[in-house]
Chain A
């Protein structure tokens, strides 16, 4: 039930995103390109910092960062 609700919410949000947003023109994107506005300004560094979470917590994923191997530490 919870899963269905989440998927429904995601679908609605997606539809809203794709259809209802004001267009930002290329010349208005100066701030959006600044490092402080990037969700993952350095994905490699973020993946390395989050590496330890894979072995301390029972859940992963959904955050965009990945790392491989066992690295059982």
Chain B
């Protein structure tokens, strides 16, 4: 039965995507993404003992005057010191322990494959992407389509997108498999206000259904001196909405400021505010500096409690559903190929139109009550990034 429903959904989405592309073909339209090769290596470390490396390779290539294809391969390699805890599967990352079916070492590996096609017809650009993600206890298939339509000498660009994913959750410590389905719609409007100022508005909606809980977290309840462990229980439906505005304006010919604000609310009673500021400046002709600050706060989900004295129909202890405030700071430098012309080794890989970027983000999350697993209120994390971008 579930397979039939899944098949019907796949057929419906395929029909939609076909009509979507046909609609694009009947319009007139615009520029394709540039041919490029990108290699990125990101690493994440935090004080909860989580270490993640996620390298990615992507290629975009124009194959016809109005058609471009792209592909990406990404790996998430997760290792968590907290896996030495009493829990059979790590509670901080929800990654599987190697003794419980996770990969031998590191503790968990996720592979993600993306393939896409972009079609330009006159000034309209339409693209379709398919994503397949697999790991030992979670599988995800995603279809995404978006279209961007410029108006008024390309001073106004309307973007519309739809994303549908079908996930299967198969925890190592359970005998069952459960489905999760996500449908996301987004709309954006970008407007050039003048030759040094632009504004973008974004509307976002997402419907999540199925197994939305976490199979690896546990809730300990002390009853008459004995602690019994229960699984969290979340609602099986969640409607999520966000509206955002972002603006960029030039301070002079070599620097700019980007400001953004987003308001988010959902049917689990989480409401959040996000504000960010990004300052970019050419430090020299060949080096661009990016300096950012993001501040975020959220209310807790209505079924979240830091401690339970008796089992309830809905229960959650995950800190990401708790009331919290976060700050994130970003510093990155982008180097173009000119600077490496006399550098051994690098000069051979830094062709013209190549950009090398290095950066670090420092992330701090403060929850109003301690995390259920680490017992820390503060999460400190570092995200280091190295990127190589070659336009050919």
Contacts and interface: CB of A to CB of B under 8 A. Distances in A.
Contacts of B44: 52, 73
A73 B93 contact: yes
Contact of B288 (A6, A14, A36, A52): A36
A10 B250 contact: no
Interface in B49-86: 50, 52, 54, 56, 58, 72, 74, 76, 78, 80
A6 B143 CA distance: 29
Contacts of A36: 250, 254-256, 280-282, 288
B195 A24 contact: yes
Given A39-B246, A70-B138, A58 B194 contact: no
A39 B258 contact: yes
B379 A56 contact: yes
B320 A55 contact: yes
Contacts of A58: 266, 268, 270, 272, 298, 301, 320-321
A61 B199 contact: no
Interface in A1-58: 2-3, 6-7, 10, 13-14, 17-18, 21-26, 28-32, 35-39, 42, 44-45, 48-49, 51-52, 55-58
B140 A69 contact: yes
A41 B316 CA distance: 38
Contacts of B362: none
B138 A69 contact: yes
Contact of B42 (A30, A48, A56): A48
B296 interface: yes
Contacts of B163: 66
Given A48-B385, A52-B381, A39 B198 contact: yes
Given A36-B280, A69-B76, A56 B320 contact: yes
B74 to A, nearest CB: 8
B270 to A, nearest CB: 5
Contacts of A42: 38, 357, 387, 389
Contacts of A56: 320, 326, 363, 365, 379, 381
Interface residues of A, number: 49
A61 B204 contact: yes
Interface stretch (B13-21, B148-156, B222-230, B340-348): B148-156
Nearest to B296: A57
Contact of B165 (A52, A57, A68): A68
A56 B50 CA distance: 12
Interface string B116-132: 00000000000000010
A21 to B, nearest CB: 6
B40 A48 contact: yes
A30 B196 CA distance: 9
Interface of A: 2-3, 6-7, 10, 13-14, 17-18, 21-26, 28-32, 35-39, 42, 44-45, 48-49, 51-52, 55-64, 66, 68-73
Given A55-B93, A56-B379, A58-B268, 8 more contacts: A57-B326, A61-B204, A61-B264, A62-B186, A62-B203, A69-B110, A69-B140, A73-B93
Interface of B: 38, 40, 42, 44, 50, 52, 54, 56, 58, 72, 74, 76, 78, 80, 93-95, 108, 110, 112, 114, 131, 133, 135, 138, 140, 142, 144, 151-156, 163, 165, 167, 184, 186, 188-196, 198-204, 206, 240-246, 248, 250, 253-256, 258, 260, 262-266, 268, 270, 272, 274, 280-282, 288, 296, 298, 301, 320-321, 324, 326, 330, 334, 357, 359, 361, 363, 365, 379, 381, 383, 385, 387, 389
